[in-house]
Chain A
Amino acid sequence: DAGVTQSPTHLIKTRGQHVTLRCSPISGHKSVSWYQQVLGQGPQFIFQYYEKEERGRGNFPDRFSARQFPNYSSELNVNALLLGDSALYLCASSPVLTGGFAYEQYFGPGTRLTVT
């Protein structure tokens, strides 16, 4: 079975530019989450979507936005890029989001973003 896929794998952008990262979840999974991982740290939560609705948002500025499509794939958009946005952006999918008990999240290979 195909795992979580992300595109592109690597990206180099200049400060002030905009970037769109894409994610396709595992077939049958309806929840997608986005995380940012900078070197030497654990992943930090950015957004979670379930059934095309935002279900959670981490402590990131409004320059970060996301959406989920009817086929459950997702996009993460970052505007006005800063040097500090350089990181590995990870997408994770999980099958069901139910009250209080969540299923494990499975990560894609990530998009490595470098802002110069």
Chain B
Amino acid sequence: RKEVEQDPGPFNVPEGATVAFNCTYSNSASQSFFWYRQDCRKEPKLLMSVYSSGNEDGRFTAQLNRASQYISLLIRDSKLSDSATYLCVALGSNSGYALNFGKGTSLLVTP
């Protein structure tokens, strides 16, 4: 079983829609969580860290539920430029401080 599992996607949504991505992690010792965004044939770019209390950055809201080992990302008022693959990431507690990535969920925002 992979350490981080994400919605399979792809998600096709119209501009202005709200879209939610979900993710679960298996290692209860994981201490830090992130969402990265990756454009086609580019490197992953940090979108936001995820805190236990939940955090918001403009149109993006991330939530962490440690009891359920569940992470979410909500994007409001989707823009065409939000089209990308979104990677859910848990920081491992073994093998050093390696990032454990999910497979990614593809989002396509259409006009």
Residues of chain A at the chain B interface (Cβ within 8 Å):
31, 33, 35, 40-45, 48, 50, 55-58, 90, 92, 94, 97, 100-102, 104-110
Contacts and interface: CB of A to CB of B under 8 A. Distances in A.
B46 A106 contact: yes
A109 B43 contact: yes
B75 interface: no
Contacts of A94: 97
B100 A45 contact: yes
B43 A55 contact: no
26 contacts: A42-B4, A42-B87, A42-B102, A42-B104, A43-B99, A43-B101, A44-B101, A45-B95, A45-B98, A45-B99, A45-B100, A48-B95, A48-B98, A50-B96, A55-B97, A56-B94, A56-B95, A56-B96, A56-B98, A58-B98, A94-B97, A97-B97, A100-B31, A100-B93, A101-B31, A107-B43
Contact of B32 (A35, A90, A101): A101
A92 B4 CA distance: 19
Interface of B: 4, 31-32, 34, 42-46, 49, 87, 91-104
A56 B104 CA distance: 23
Contact of A102 (B4, B91, B94, B101): B91
A46 B60 CA distance: 30
Contacts of A101: 31-32
B2 to A, nearest CB: 9
A50 to B, nearest CB: 8
Most A CB contacts (10 A, CB to CB) among B96, B103, B104 go to B96
A102 B98 CA distance: 10
Contacts of A106: 46
A100 B44 CA distance: 23
